[in-house]
Structure 1
Amino acid sequence: MSAQQLLPIAAACLWLVAANLVVMLPSRDNHRSCATILVVIGVPLLGWVTFAFGPVAGVVLMAAGVSVLRWPLMLLGRLRRPWG
């Protein structure tokens, strides 16, 4: 594994650790501001890992990110549901 491949994986692992630590902290706004920051950082990171390792690694990383950020996705699903 070259340094060009090690850097995106290391950044993705740091993002996952940071996301898990943020979830454990108490928050007054239900972690909305932290989730927004994590999404803004995570989307380009997901593209970087997908570019470096291919679509399978991108899907695996996306599944890991969704498992951490599941509440913002559930809230977005509630907002988009027209019958809801």
Structure 2
Amino acid sequence: MTLSLTLVCLWAVTANIIAMTPSKDYHWRNAYILIAVGIPILGYTVLQHGPWVGLLVLAAGCSVLRWPVIYLGRWLRRRGRNSVVE
């Protein structure tokens, strides 16, 4: 297994361990850290294995961090409605 896929697996295990621990802020601080660490790992994976594997890793990351993705989608939808009105 290459270094990038090893880092992806380590990121996924870390994310699941973090999800099992209690948190007062509903894990948002941890989600921001995981996103900040995951983006370079995703880029490195795309560099080593190409865009198809990168899309699979992105889908796996989105399934782990689903609430930040849902809130991003809602925010983009609101921004889209506001720009159409103006």
Q: TM-score band (shorter)?
A: 0.7 to 0.9
> Is 1:24 the equivalent of 2:25?
no
Instruction: Identify the residue that residue 59 of structure 1 maps to in structure 2.
Output: 55
Q: How far has the Cα of 1:80 moved from its partner?
A: 3.2
Identify the range of structure 1 (17-26 vs 39-48) with the bigger mean alpha-carbon deviation. Answer: 17-26
Instruction: Identify the residue that residue 79 of structure 1 maps to in structure 2.
Output: 75
* Fraction of identical pairs, as percent: 46
How many Å separate the matches in 2 of 1:24 and 1:80?
30
TM-score (norm. length: structure 1):
0.86
Ranges in structure 1 where 5+ consecutive residues have no aligned partner? none
Q: Aligned letter for 1:16? A: A
Ranges in structure 2 where 5+ consecutive residues have no aligned partner? 82-86
Q: How far has the Cα of 1:75 moved from its partner?
A: 1.8
Q: How far has the Cα of 1:81 moved from its partner?
A: 3.0
RMSD, aligned CA: 1.3
Match of 1:40 among 31, 36, 41: 36
Q: Aligned letter for 2:36? A: V
Identify the range of structure 1 (68-77 vs 29-38) with the bigger mean alpha-carbon deviation. Answer: 68-77
TM-score (norm. length: structure 2):
0.84
The number of residues matched between the two structures is: 79
